[in-house]
Amino acid sequence: MLEHGGRLRRAARDYGIPLADWLDLSTGINPEMYPLPAIDPLAWQRLPEDDDGLEAAAAAYYGNDRLLALPGSQAAIQSLPRLFRPMTVACVSPLYDEHPYAWERAGHKLRRLPSLRHALSAATPVVLLCNPNNPTAECVPRDVLLDAAGQLRQRGGHLIVDEAFADAAPENTLTALAGRDTAPNLIVLRSLGKFFGLAGARVGFILAAADELDRLREMIGPWSIAHPSRHVARRALADTAWQSVMREKLALASQRLASMLAPLGAVRRTALFCTVGGEKAPLPVAALAERFARRGILVRRFDPHGLLRFGLPGDESGWRRLEAAVAER
């Protein structure tokens, strides 16, 4: 089992700081979650049905009806490798560790390469990346990815793109083309956990060609998403007014966070997190993380890559607390 952010209870035990006194910046989840609608009590009693409007709302949101709803994009990450015979897969590294972990467990060999250009040069049947990337915050332009999908299509390969952090910049996403005639070899993963702040609902989507979706549907089985989660997800995907306001808020918040973290070294940002570190960082990742943890601020360490990831504080008190911790020596 891999380590992830959000292990707040363990941090509370390790540092002797009460759970309620922590500022958790370790997950990259929007701290301003989508407002929960009232849920019909029958949703807790009846099995979910797949004609409740969730797929239609998702198709409108993503611009593509070739999709499958899943209990979080994690379900796609774990299932996708089983669609392919054992082979060598190139992944743009570093990336979300669950991806290489799942492919290796399914019997594939992984080549971890530093860029999309290197991955394409490796001539593997599958190239995998996160965009925006987690944890580096790097973002590959849409046209570059489409060109990569075209190159892979010519040699019978697939491009798999995890867009879990892409909702804040929909103009750079590939969801509208995944599995369509123009890019039948393009597979895209999406999640409601990050932008909508609904990680606990466990709702995600995979967009791909029809035959791949059919095979995944058989793997996952019926009733994969709880009835209440489907209800909340449908409302969130259809609420364009909330989405528009939230994109503006996150743009301002991420810029504020990047400016605040600048004294720690080079900063890269997405709408939902900033990553600091690298060769020129003033302190090693472990020392920086320890410094914040002693002040009850939990951040996400990526020790092998010398990176530290910070999510967004949820209120002014959290912002002031982070600012004070950055300023301290």
Quick one: pLDDT at residue 6?
Answer: 62
- Kindly report the CATH class assigned to 8-34+241-327: alpha beta
pLDDT of 8 reads 87
The pLDDT, as a whole number, for residue 57 is 98
pLDDT at 45: 93
b/e sequence 296-306, b meaning 16+ C-beta within 10 Å: bbbbbbbeeeb
d(CA 77, CA 70): 11
Identify the CA nearest to 70 among candidates 159, 202, 256: 202
pTM of the entire predicted model? 0.94
pLDDT value for 213: 97
Q: In the chain, which ranges are continuous DSSP H helix?
A: 8-15, 54-62, 73-79, 98-105, 116-121, 142-154, 210-220, 227-238, 240-261, 285-293, 316-327
Task: Give the residue extent of every domain in the chain.
Answer: 8-34+241-327, 47-238
> Hey, is 10 helix, strand or coil?
helix
Q: Residue 2's pLDDT is what?
A: 55
Q: Which structure tokens are listed for 111?
A: 């080549």
- Looking only at the bridges linking them, the beta strands covering 273-277 and 307-311 are antiparallel
Q: What is the pLDDT of residue 284?
A: 80
Give dist(CA 311, CA 24) in Å, integer: 8
Q: How far apart are CA 219 and CA 226, in angstroms?
A: 17
- Nearest CA to 187 out of 50, 84, 272, 86 is that of 84
Query: pLDDT tens digits for the chain (329 residues)?
Result: 556 666 888 999 989 999 999 999 999 999 999 999 999 999 999 999 989 999 999 999 999 999 999 999 999 999 999 999 999 999 999 999 999 999 999 999 999 999 999 999 999 999 999 999 999 999 999 999 999 999 999 999 999 999 999 999 999 999 999 999 999 999 999 999 999 999 999 999 999 999 999 999 999 999 999 999 999 999 999 999 999 999 999 999 999 999 999 999 899 999 999 999 866 555 688 888 999 999 999 999 998 888 999 999 999 999 999 999 999 86
Q: How far is CA 130 from CA 81, 103, 116, 216, 320, in A?
A: 16, 15, 11, 20, 31
* Confidence (pLDDT) at 218: 94
**What sign results for the dihedral spanned by CA atoms 247, 252, 253, 259?**
positive
The architecture of the domain spanning 47-238 is 3-Layer(aba) Sandwich (3.40)
Torsion of CA 91, 95, 99, 104, to 10 degrees: 60
- Helices marked H in 90-182 — which ranges? 98-105, 116-121, 142-154
Q: Please give the pLDDT value at position 328.
A: 85
Distance separating alpha carbons of residues 11 and 169, to the nearest angstrom: 33
- Please classify residue 121 by burial: count the beta carbons closer than 10 Å to its beta carbon, then call 0-12 exposed, 13-18 middle and 19+ buried: exposed
Which amino acid appears at position 256 of this protein?
Answer: R
- Give the single-character DSSP code of 199: G
